Chain A
Amino acid sequence: MSFFDLPIVTSGPAVSGACASGGCATGGCASGGCSTARPDLKSETSRRDFLKTATTLTLGAMSLTLLPGAMAGDDAVPPASKPSGFPSHAKKPMYGFLIDTTKCTGAGKCLTACRVENGVPEGQARTWVERYVHFKDGRVEVDLVPEIGYAASGEPQPAAEDVLRAYFVPKLCNQCVDAPCNQVCPVHASIKSPEGIELVDTDRCIGCGYCVQACPYGIRYMNHETNVADKCNWCYHRVMRNEQPACVEACPTGARVFGRIDDPDSEISKRLATLPTSVLKQHLGTLPLTRYVGLTDEVT
């Protein structure tokens, strides 16, 4: 007998006499055919037991694959030191980046410094500098500062008498607190470090490019030498050694300022306290840590 042959209440001999004990006021018994006997209590219990056992086994087996604890085993880290949730960032230093568009001269020294420091392939960039030129006739033109500088590039320049105002806007990773690029990574290769700096785990990255599309600022790119995502990480390796990011170190005019925003005596804290600053694309709610001085509505 297989369990498909389990008795059911309408199946003739098995249910004989059920009503006699008063347990069949409702259900199948009321429709007749059950006047002589009640179902075998033992078989009812077996079905319930079966369902209980099967469910327990199934859920138990499935849960084995889900428990991280089952996988970690008893390796180097004792259970007490394992964090129960995401760590508190409160005690880590908080860094900030300030860009003063009124000081940038468009020499492009930061671009070369970044390329050398981070091995960025030519033709791609972790940081760049845009120039916004407002002409007197109302046009606004945007171009990119050449890495070798305007003088050496030989690009035709707008005549100064046609220009109402013009300014340079360096762009780099905004290190959003609520970073869209981090959220879309399918393999957890996007890392928000405890210091709040967004990094790429190049060993994990599969090069799908979702993060490149997700970044509303266009900071991320697919490195065509390594074929994984790459981005400005505020020179994380330098910051961890208490050095300035390469572009900040290279800037001769102080247009790029980097430092700890949790230290009121740092230069960036003092400048943030005295200058009106804004962020790019504030309406997206990504909460960038890179702040700008002197942005206009044209800059996005």
Chain B
Amino acid sequence: MTSFNDTRHLWALGAFLAAVGLVGMVVRRELVPDDFGRQGPYRASALADVAARPSLFQADATCHACHASVEHERAGKPHEAVRCAHCHGHAVEHVAMARKAAEDSSIAVPPAAEWDGDFLTKIDLYVTKDRATCLSCHQAVVGMPADFKKIDVAVHLEEQGASEPLAKDTCFECHGGHDTAP
């Protein structure tokens, strides 16, 4: 008996390998996202997912669209560069509400709250006339650039003869918030 004629094993082997290949294809189809590799070695739609996040931090232009008087008040003044959000909160809800109100006059935009004194406050929109807000930038600290307007608050208030140095609105006896000229 010299010839090899038992091809049944070959068929069995072939069927087995084909089954492995098929299972591999099915598993791969399940695990690999459809758009994987379209643009690079990643899920292409992930770019759109990341880009879909809403922009929350408001640029000043958003505020100025309604509060144009403040824009004029600050124009050319040192505080032109300070963002509205730094002293008045991030106003995410306020802006969303104001945009709705612009279309539907029956919606009333609630007024700004008083600041609760917490820099990480959850209050959306607030009014601050508080020395702490001013000092968060202007209190002299080692490391500030030489040309930045910084004060040693105790010295400055004594020099200027502040009536109540520790009062919340002591800075506003002389300075404005938007137009800071004394």
Contact = CB atoms under 8 A, between A and B. Distances in A.
A189 B47 CA distance: 11
A281 to B, nearest CB: 22
Nearest to B46: A201
B75 interface: no
B56 A192 contact: no
Contacts, number: 206
Q: Mostly helix, strand, loop or mixed at chain A's interface? A: mixed
The 9 residue pairs across chains A and B that have the minimum distance between CB atoms: A65-B24, A61-B17, A151-B139, A46-B4, A166-B143, A149-B136, A148-B119, A201-B46, A64-B21
A105 B6 contact: no
B85 interface: yes
Contacts of A189: 42
B106 interface: no
Given A191-B47, A201-B43, A7 B83 contact: no
A270 interface: no
Given A3-B6, A7-B2, A152 B119 contact: yes
Contact of B40 (A105, A108, A191, A253): A191
Given A77-B38, A115-B120, A160-B142, 5 more contacts: A42-B2, A236-B50, A237-B52, A237-B55, A249-B59
Query: For the side of the interface on A, what is the size category?
Result: 35 or more
A39 B90 CA distance: 91
Contact of A240 (B10, B13, B14, B51): B51
Contacts of B37: 68
Given A3-B9, A58-B17, A150-B139, A204 B43 contact: yes
A202 B52 CA distance: 13
Interface stretch (A18-26, A49-57, A173-181, A258-266): A49-57
A236 B120 contact: no
6 contacts: A5-B1, A62-B21, A151-B139, A188-B36, A203-B49, A240-B51
Interface string B131-165: 01001110111111100101001000000000000
A147 interface: yes
- Interface bracket on B: 35 or more
Given A116-B56, A157-B141, A191-B42, A50 B17 contact: no
B47 A42 contact: no
Contacts of A1: 1, 4-6
Contacts of A75: 34
B98 to A, nearest CB: 18
Given A116-B57, A188-B36, A237-B53, A105 B137 contact: yes
Nearest to B54: A237
A10 interface: no
A82 B21 contact: no
Nearest to A114: B57
Interface in A199-237: 199-204, 233, 235-237
